[in-house]
Amino acid sequence: MLVEEGIVYVKGLSHQGINGNISNTMHLKLDVYIPDNELKNRPAIMLIHGGGFAGGTREHDKIVNMANYFAARGWVAFSIDYRLKKDKGTVPQEWVDYSINLDNNTAQRFLSVYPAIRDAKAALRWVVANAGKYNVNTNHITVGGGSAGAGIAITLGLSNQEDYRDEISMSQDPTLGTANTDQQYHVHTILDFWGGKTTLDILDSLYNYQRFDFSDPPIFIAHGTEDSTVPFSMAQQLKDLYKENEMPFVFYPLEGKGHGAWNATINGKRLEALAFYFIVEQQNLTIYESKN
């Protein structure tokens, strides 16, 4: 397996205050985990770290482990950074207006969501734009993550192309010119590890956009029943929504587990193995096993 580290996939503004006139340009980076083979038709998985939109990194050990797991089986895996709360990324004015009615801590977290998802969408467009370099078949794209990263993955998979992209114009944020906005992507499976649909619900709250329908990609949901950070009920709500809309899903309640239960097993199988076979089944893929 080969690893390319620290690739800049987009630029984004970091303001001294929310949408303030004084700002710096950040270089958002990703790492690529590449199978050591000559195959020309590789599936791709983009992994997104958690951290409550306030912390975390693309080098999170559990994310790296999962990237290695999939790369060893023929996937090209991408692990991304994105702007966090401290970075004060550019947000639409309607977000600022909405945040006025929230307490300070909630408002700061709320305002960190937009640039984070804007960046993640740019990363996915970068993957599409660079698919030829890595022999990626863009008809086989999976996104996944843990906690906040899972929420971002759900939003990438279920929202429209223009969501978290066109609410801000190029004149307001010139770094959009680096975001491969001419590219389109399609997510084919979602991995949700103890996340929720809150960041997708924001579209409904602010714009009256309800994005769920029967054509949404299949989802893998794993969530600890004793999670005190992201309540287990959020996983149940997402499962029920999929069931009501007759969309494909699997649902794994992790009995007695709390938040971040990466080492959990179901019938002796680890979560990454369960996720792997879920993707293989849903995308009708051929399994490749590394000889290394």
Residue 235's CATH number:
3.40.50.1820
CA 79 to CA 211: how far, in whole Å?
26
Alpha-carbon torsion 57, 3, 9, 136, what sign? negative
| 291 within a domain of the structure (yes/no) | no
In which band, very low, low, confident or very high, does the pLDDT at 289 lie, cut at 50, 70 and 90?
Answer: low
| 231 within a domain of the structure (yes/no) | yes
Q: Is the pLDDT of residue 292 over 50?
A: no
For residues 272-286, average pLDDT: 95
Q: Which residue has the tokens 């340009």?
A: 25
**Mean per-residue pLDDT of the chain:** 95
| 275 within a domain of the structure (yes/no) | yes
Q: What tokens appear for 211 in the block?
A: 């994005």
Q: Which domain holds residue 236?
A: 2-283
User: Please, what is the end-to-end C-alpha distance for the chain in angstroms?
Assistant: 9
Q: Is the pLDDT of residue 73 over 80?
A: yes
Task: Give how many domains the chain has, as a whole number.
Answer: 1
CA 109 to CA 52: how far, in whole Å?
8
| 61 within a domain of the structure (yes/no) | yes
Q: Which residue has the tokens 């979602």?
A: 190
In which band, very low, low, confident or very high, does the pLDDT at 236 lie, cut at 50, 70 and 90?
Answer: very high
In which band, very low, low, confident or very high, does the pLDDT at 238 lie, cut at 50, 70 and 90?
Answer: very high
pLDDT in tens, 202-213: 999 999 988 888
Q: Is the pLDDT of residue 246 over 70?
A: yes
Angle between helices 198-207 and 148-158 (to 10 degrees): 50
Q: Are 84 and 56 in contact (CB under 8 A)?
A: yes
| 58 within a domain of the structure (yes/no) | yes
| 289 within a domain of the structure (yes/no) | no
DSSP string, 129-197: HTTTTTTEEEEEEEEEEETHHHHHHHHHHHS-TTTTTTTS-TTT-GGGGGS-TT------EEEEES--S
| 292 within a domain of the structure (yes/no) | no
pLDDT in tens, 101-150: 999 999 999 999 999 999 999 999 999 999 999 999 999 999 999 999 99
In which band, very low, low, confident or very high, does the pLDDT at 291 lie, cut at 50, 70 and 90?
Answer: very low
Burial 111-145 (b: 16+ CB within 10 A, else e): bbbbbbbbbbbbbbbbbbebbeeebbbbebbbbbb
Of 222, 258, 67, 34, give the one whose Cα is nearest residue 146: 222
Q: Is the pLDDT of residue 63 over 50?
A: yes
For the chain, percent of residues with pLDDT exceeding 90:
92
| 24 within a domain of the structure (yes/no) | yes
